[in-house]
Amino acid sequence: MSQTRVFGIMSVSPDKRRKMESALEQIKKYTVVVADTGDFNAIEEYKPQDATTNPSLILAAAKMSTYQPLVEQAIKYGIANGGSEKEQVTNAMDKLFVNFGLEILKKVPGRVSTEVDARLSFDKEAMVSRARRLISLYEEAGVSKERILIKLSSTWEGIQAGRELEEKDGIHCNMTLLFSFAQAVACAEARVTLISPFVGRILDWYKENTDRKNYEPHEDPGVQSVTKIYNYYKKFSYTTVVMGASFRNTGEVKALAGCDLLTISPGLLGELSQDHSAVTCSLTPQGAKECDLEKVHLDEKSFRWLHNEDRMAVEKLSDGIRKFAADAIKLEAMIKERMFNVKNGQ
């Protein structure tokens, strides 16, 4: 029988209970689940611990009628703070990102990630300045920096900006657009709070640039990349945690159960909530300690060389920066047009 009687009451056996639980519920036992969205409804539905946004997600959300009050408030803020037209638009953009973050924080118990403009990816000082500005906007709204992760591109300059923000300001950073082992090592040595290696975009590259078009989850190059990074961090006791990101299918997500965090789109969260197959914990600190990995130290020159040796990572990092920058420019144009209308009483 699949049921057992305990103290005269029928109870469900562990095997039966596992069958009833969704894959999402099982993953949550091993990993902190983060919603990769700017859509508050999805956050309410799937109840993640944290949430993360980026310019592409904010652009999509800012076009929805539901969120127009947040856009209008940001525009009014930009105008009220004066300065040149460029400064007003920049202030409105920062306020818009923070407005979305504030709303998300009402719906998650943990943290929200807010991204620094990708166009600053090669300017360390500008990234530091922008990050401090975003944190000050959150603090003005009564939210502690402990609930915020500042997202920075994982360029050498971005990683060093993360180091400075963590050491000098106690501002926690989420290093994004991470594709290479070199980037992961440099982030760990900078002692940033968290990294977001991009699983699905790595898979995309291999499908586009090799003859192979199909991969089992454990063979997926994105899954293998994150597994190596996780094992390296845990083997050498780095404090930086790993948040797998940019998934293309639920197989990738399930293959990384046990990773510190996984940030998942609403579509895949929905699929996982309907999936009742058994999920096993693939990544563990104990397993990592037994891995055959050597410790690496990277200064700027060795970082640039090692990263450059990984063609996939070089191409996907530059492509990712361009795409986020393009969406930031679209969002800026939308803000600018709306701001012009407000100023002219339209």
Pairing of strands 9-12, 3-6: antiparallel
What is the spatial distance between Cα 340 and Cα 213, in angstroms, rounded to a whole number? 48
Q: Establish whether 207 is a catalytic residue.
A: no
Burial 266-285 (b: 16+ CB within 10 A, else e): bebbbbbeebeeebeebbee
Choose among 157, 189, 198, 194: nearest CA to 315.
198
Q: Determine the 3-state secondary structure of 328 from DSSP.
A: helix
187: Cα separation from own chain's centroid: 15
Structure tokens at 167: 């050491």
- Rounded (10°) CA dihedral 333, 40, 75, 65: 70
What is the spatial distance between Cα 119 and Cα 153, in angstroms, rounded to a whole number? 10
- What is the CB-side half-sphere exposure of residue 256 using CA atoms within 13 A? 35
Q: Determine the 3-state secondary structure of 278 from DSSP.
A: coil
Catalytic residue among 95, 151, 234, 235: 151
3-state SS, 130-150, equals HHHHHHHHHHHCCCCHHHEEE
- What is the CB-side half-sphere exposure of residue 42 using CA atoms within 13 A? 21
| Amino acid letter, 235 | K
Burial of 15 (0-12, 13-18, 19+ CB in 10 A): exposed
The catalytic site residues sit at 151
